[in-house]
Structure 1
Amino acid sequence: MSETTTAPEPAPKKRTEWNAVAAVIAALIGLLALGVSGYTAMLQREQVRAEVWPYLQPAITIAQDSMAISLENKGVGPALVGGLRVHVDGQPQRNWPDVFDALGLSDLRDTRASTINGIVIARGETIQQIGFDDAADFQRVLGQYPRMALVLCYCSTLGDCWLLDQRERLPEHRRTQIDACPASGPDEFIDNERVPPGMAGDG
């Protein structure tokens, strides 16, 4: 009696786990959306930073009625001055009378001045640091001006800060972005000690 052979049954087809695939796709879409959102937020922040970017620049200003050593904000946002130092021949000075003494111009100790340290300088604003009515006195100071060096720290309204250091010889090294303005130290320039009552911030 012959035996009847039975063909083996085909293996069951593997079922695609559609729920798992859908979960993976959803996760990928979520990651993509998160990345796009983060990139968009970064672009928006960069745009806002550009819109409030300050740029302080020392200047010599000569107007019809005044001559001054000034500080200009050529940026597009306000500048918060967070620190100021003034050096003469590499040595830090505490105030304007000390500066004039170091320059050999002690007779100009009473020159009118404006407060710079700790103030906010608006976009397009020019602040006179020291102003002169007499052209001869102004020329005397300009003759000694190369001996002076300003070290200035300022920040934007978003907390981005820059250090302007005129002691650096190369112009491209004079302005650097920093995390925050250094804390006040013994070399801090206290320019408001020279300002007569009622003249603080006078530009």
Structure 2
Amino acid sequence: MSEEERPPRAADAGDDADELGAAAGAFDLEDPLALAFALRELGDRDAALAAAERSAATGDRTAAAVVACWRWCTSWDPALEPDLRAGAEHFPSARGDLAELLIRTDRVDEGRAVLERGMLLGEVESMLPLGNLYADVLGDEAAAEAAYRAGAELGDAHAHHNLAVLLDERGDTDAAVEHFRLAAAGGDTLAAQALRELDEE
């Protein structure tokens, strides 16, 4: 592949009654936070946020962290920093979002430290963004590869994809194809596209 053809790094239908039934099988819908996740899976983000807020109002710290994450993802509001900090130890995605906020507000070293702690704790949610930070901002390919491999080993399809991109850039096509395949099998559409392009070469 030429530099222009290289795939980008990854950054994250049916009948509603049937889908709600499937969601009910996966979540305890008596729990308002579980209901929030079920509603979010169905695509009703407003109702999901309201359910999470109800759970947070009872003092559920995990629910409060979820609310902070969902608000951050729709607003990029730096005023959410205290809520994300409070939630980082209760919900792994809050740690990842806190790091993103720090990096966006020019505190890269602190953002890296936040993600490195998540990686040490085995939180897959920190591994892909840490790899991206090393690859795209800090220029440390070895550290990026280690972070992607850690995420891939825990089944993160996007980590497989970004590891494949890195390996392809290095010229290790066979290894790249293997990770593109694993990523595509996990639902990464960019990896599936990359495989099609490789097949056409």
- Which bin holds the TM-score, normalised by the shorter protein? under 0.3
Higher strand share: 1
Higher relative contact order (CA 8 A, sep 6+): 1
Find the structure with the greater CA-based Rg: 1
TM-score of the two chains, using structure 1 as the length reference: 0.21
Higher helix share: 2
TM-score of the two chains, using structure 2 as the length reference: 0.21
